[in-house]
Structure formats: structure tokens, C-alpha cells
Amino acid sequence: MFSYQKRLQYPINIKSKNIEMAKLLVTQYGGSNGELSAALRYLNQRYTMPDDRGKALLTDIGTEELAHVEMISTMIYQLLKDATVEEIKAAGLDPHYAEHKRALYPTDANGVPFTVAYFATTGDPLADLSEDMAAEEKARAVYENLIDLTDDEDIRGPLLWLRQREIVHFARFKELYDMYKKELKK
């Protein structure tokens, strides 16, 4: 079902460490509106879609969201590369360092750990797709906030690309929602 290519969907090549940005960017890794939440939401909801078109769309987008997790993880790793313990402490990441050293751990920007409560599946295709559209809009908004917080083009480029994918995903979910709204209400 899944095909893994050993390359990112968009190249990540951050040249300057930025611990503060890494601390903020982690929200798109493990936060409520982040990529991990989206991937798990869609990959779980696909099983109760009423037809193969819905199952395929949720599988495709869920799989792509996993690729976005990889991109965000790469960005965080590159932003933290060569950071000293003193710099990590100064950025307020010492609690993370105490538990995980430099390893990635899914949290939001405030350090709140990921929870499955971030996503739902109702078994109702229209309700689930409504949530999916809202999730894509919230992720888009968070990317825009992150873009506002940096002028580093090595960071902005991937964030702009990820933001655009949220817009595409919203449109694809909306198309399916509109189709189901007509078909399922007959």
C-alpha cells in the first residue's frame, strides 16, 4: 500500500541553527493542528468511507501527511544541529532535553504532549470530512503564523510549500464532501 522514496517531498537545507524556531515548529509535528494528528486522523477515517474513492483519498492524503511529518522532523533537526546545552537551556528547551536529549518527541510549541484526543472519527463521512476540512484550514493558519515568525528563506520555503499543500488537501476534501452530500442524502 505505501511506497517509500528516500527523498523529501520538498528539499530541506537549513544552514543556520535557530533553536527558538525549532521550539515553535514542533507544534506542526505533535500539536493539535500538526501533521501527525492529520495523518492519524485520515488513516483512521478511511475505513468508514462509503466507497473506494473516499478510502483512496483519505489514504493518499494521510500518507502524504506522514511525509510532512518527515519534513517537519528534518527541519527541527537541522534547526537544532550544533546547538549547545547552554543555548538549549536559554531557549527554554531544557525540560525537553532532560527527557529526550535531542530526540524528536511529539508536542506542541508549549511542550504539551501529543494525544489521540486531537482527532476524531465518527463513522459519518460528512462529519469526518467536515472535521478534515477544518483541520486543513487550522494547519494552514498555523503555517502562516510560523511564516510570519521567520525571515530565513531556508525555513520559509518549506513552510510556504507545506501551507500550499494544506490548501490543496482542503479542496480535495471539499470535493468529496460535496459529492457525498448529494449522494448520501438521497
CB-based contact 111:96 (threshold 8 Å): yes
CB-based contact 2:63 (threshold 8 Å): yes
* 3-state SS assignment for residue 118: helix
CA–CA dist 167, 136 (Å, integer): 7
How many Cβ atoms sit within 10 Å of the Cβ of residue 167? 14
Phi, psi angle pair for 113, to nearest 5°: -65, 150
Q: What is the pLDDT along the chain (186 residues), one digit of tens a residue?
A: 567 778 999 999 999 999 999 999 999 999 999 999 999 999 999 999 999 999 999 999 999 999 999 999 999 999 999 999 999 999 999 999 999 999 999 999 999 999 999 988 999 999 999 999 999 999 999 999 999 999 999 999 999 999 999 999 999 999 999 999 999 876
pLDDT of 186 reads 61
In the chain, the domains with their CATH numbers are: 19-184 (1.20.1260.10)
- The 10s digit of each residue's pLDDT in 74-84 is 999 999 999 99
- The 10s digit of each residue's pLDDT in 9-40 is 999 999 999 999 999 999 999 999 999 999 99
Cβ neighbours of residue 182 closer than 8 Å, sequence gap 6 or more: none
Furthest C-alpha separation in the chain: 63
pLDDT of 11 reads 96
Tell me the pTM: 0.94
pLDDT of 163 reads 98
